[in-house]
Homo-oligomer: A and B are copies of this chain.
Amino acid sequence: MSSVESLNEDQSQSLSDMMTSLGKAARAAMPALANAGTEVKNQALLEMAKAIRAQSKEILTANAQDVAKAKANNISSAFLDRLILDEARVESMAAGIEAIAALPDPVGDVMDNWDRPNGLKMSRVRVPLGVIGIIYESRPNVTADAGALCLKAGNAVILRGGSESFESSRAILTCLKTGLAAAGLPDTAIQSIPTTDRAAVGILLQDMPEYVDVIIPRGGKSLVDRVQKEARVPVLAHLEGLCHTYIDRDAEIGMAKSIAVNAKMRRTGICGATETLLIDKSIAGSHLPEIVDALADRGCEIRGDAESRAIDSRIKQATEDDWHTEYLDSIVSVKTVDGINGAIDHIAKYGSHHTDSIVTDNSETAEKFLSQVDSAIVMHNTSTQFADGGEFGMGAEIGISTGRLHSPGPVGAEQLTTFKYVVRGSGQVRP
C-alpha cells in the first residue's frame, strides 16, 4: 500500500514534513549522543527515573484515559493487562531505568586489538548504531525501557507505540525528556511520533532511509510482517517465538517432565514459551503419559498427532495449523518424531529461528541438535523460558531478534551498537 493512501494531498504533505523533521532532529542529535560520556548518559537515566516517580500521578491519569477509551472499544483482557498501569508498575518502570543506568556502557569498548607487521596498530571499537526506529504494541512500559536502552547505547530513537497507549506514552516521554534536559543532552535524543495516524509508520519505514539506520519492530506477527515487507531500511526483526522442546530417547523422564512443564507453563505469554513438544517415537509410550499428567494438572490443553493420541486419549487432535501456531496460552501441541533427525526436520519446517531445546543424556545427540538446529538460541537440558536477556546476564533487552544479520538473540544495550576500525600509524604508506 502507498504509505499515504488514506490522506489527501495537504495532509500527507504535512505528515511527511513532520516525519522528516523528526528524522532530521534525530540525526542532528547523533554526535552529541555518540560523544556523551558514560556519566552524562547515566545521569540522564537516573533523572528520568526520578521524573517518572515524581510524575507518577500524571502518568496514571494519562493511562486512565487510554484505558477508558480501550474499554469502550471492547479490547481483550490480555490486551488490557499490557496497557494498564498502577503505582507498582510505574515504580517498576523507574527501577528498570535505574537498572539500565547500572549496566556497563558498551560505547567505546575495544572489542579487538592487533598489530600488523608494518607497525600499524589496529583496533575495533564499539560505537552507537545511530538513529533507531522502534515500533511496538500498546505497552506503555516499553516507551521507558526502549528509550532508556537506546540512550545507554548512545543512539537517537524515534518511538512509535500502539495507538491505544498514546496518552500514557506521551506522559512517560515527558519524563524521559526531563532526564535528557537535566543532563544537558538534546531532548531530540528520544522522540515519539506525535500522531496515531498509521500512515506515519509507512513514512518511517519507506521514506526516511536518510535519517533512520535501523527499524526494530516489536510485537505480533502481523506487525513484524508489515515492517519486513515495507521497510526500505534495515530491520532487526523480532518475530514470534515458535519454540520447541524435544524429548529424546535418552532423556531422563524426571528432567523431561520438569523442563516440559516449565517451558510451556511458567509463563505462557512470553516469546520464549515452548509451543510444541516433540517426543521421540521410541519413548513416547513410556514418557508421554507422565508429561501429559503434569501438563494437564496445571490446566494445559494438549493437542497432538495420531501417534500421541493413540498413547494418551486426553490429547486432542492437532491440525497442520497447530504446528504453525504460537499459542501464547495454556495450550501445547505434541508431535511424535523419528528421533533426533525427525526433531531437526520438524523445527526446520515450522520453527521461527527463536529458541529450541533438547532434553537428552546423550551428549552426541545433544551436540547434533545444538549444531544443526538453525535458531538464535539452542539449548540442552534446560527450559526455553530462559530465552531472555536478563537470564543471559545481559541486563534489559528490547526483545529477541530472530533475524540472521547483525545480532540474533536478545537485543540489549550492547546489541544496539555497531563498531568502527581504528588504525593508528606512524607515517606508514602502502607499498
Taking the complex as formed, is A234 at the interface, i.e. its CB lies under 8 A from any CB of chain B?
A: yes
Contact of A429 among B30, B114, B266, B403 (CB under 8 A): B266
* Interface, chain A (partner B; CB < 8 A): 30-31, 34-35, 108, 114, 116, 120, 122, 127, 129-130, 209, 213-214, 228-229, 232, 234-236, 252, 255, 258-259, 261-263, 266, 348, 366, 370-372, 374-383, 385-386, 391-393, 403-406, 408-409, 418-430
> Smallest CB–CB gap between A12 and chain B, Å?
20
**How far does the alpha carbon of A228 sit from the alpha carbon of B213 in the complex, in Å?**
12
Minimum distance in angstroms from A44 CB to a CB of chain B: 20
Partner of A259, one of B228, B348, B429: B429
User: Bound complex: CA of A371 vs CA of B126, how far in Å?
Assistant: 10
Main secondary structure of the interface of A (DSSP, over half): mixed
| Ranked 7 nearest A-B pairs via Cβ | A382-B425, A262-B429, A385-B430, A379-B423, A255-B427, A406-B406, A381-B425
Are the C-beta atoms of B232 and A229 separated by less than 8 Å? Answer: yes
Given A391-B116, A408-B418, A430-B391, verify A423-B380 contact (CB < 8 Å): yes
A370 to B35, CA, bound (A): 11
Which residues from B are CB-within-8-Å of A34? 372, 374
Bound complex: CA of A76 vs CA of B115, how far in Å?
40
CB contact under 8 A between A393 and B228, given known A130-B404, A377-B423, A405-B213:
no
Find the residue from A130, A262, A376, A380 having the highest chain B CB count within 10 A: A380
